[in-house]
């Protein structure tokens, strides 16, 4: 619902940055339950080509050999409207 609404990032305020997808999902659920509009942006220090290489290498080489190997790090940023920031911040903490 809320994540499909287009919001232009320069007009939003950064609520949280995390690399744990479970934590991002928890925050996303809280925002949805409270009908706070948000936008999630994911990024990797490796860029598009680096992510592609990491994914291919992870699938073909690492997965069969090391089940507990570290996955490539992706950071997630959640943005909310400036007028919703204080409320969203108090709800997630």
CATH of the domain at 67: 3.30.70
For residues 5-26, average pLDDT:
87
Q: Is the pLDDT of residue 62 over 80?
A: no
* Res 35: pLDDT: 96
Rounded to whole angstroms, how far apart are CA atoms 35 and 51?
33
Task: Give the model's confidence band at 4: pLDDT under 50 very low, under 70 low, under 90 confident, else very high.
Answer: very low
Rounded to whole angstroms, how far apart are CA atoms 55 and 4?
26
Q: Is the pTM of this model over 0.95?
A: no
Rounded to whole angstroms, how far apart are CA atoms 29 and 35?
10
Cβ atoms within 10 Å of 78's Cβ, excluding its own = 22
Q: Is the pLDDT of residue 2 over 60?
A: no
User: Considering its fold, how many domains does the chain have in total?
Assistant: 1
For residues 28-46, average pLDDT:
91
Over the chain, what is the mean pLDDT? 81
**Could you tell me which residues are beta bridge partners of residue 43?**
75
- The whole domain housing 45 covers 2-92
């Amino acid at each position: 619902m809320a994540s499909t609404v287009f919001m232009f990032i320069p007009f939003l305020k950064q609520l949280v940055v995390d690399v744990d997808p479970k934590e991002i999902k928890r925050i996303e659920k809280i925002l949805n339950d409270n009908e706070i509009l948000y936008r999630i942006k994911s990024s990797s220090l490796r860029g598009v080509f680096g992510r592609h290489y990491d994914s291919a290498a992870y699938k073909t080489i690492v997965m069969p050999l090391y089940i507990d190997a570290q996955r490539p790090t992706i950071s997630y940023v959640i943005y909310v409207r400036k007028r919703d920031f204080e409320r969203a911040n108090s709800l997630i903490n």
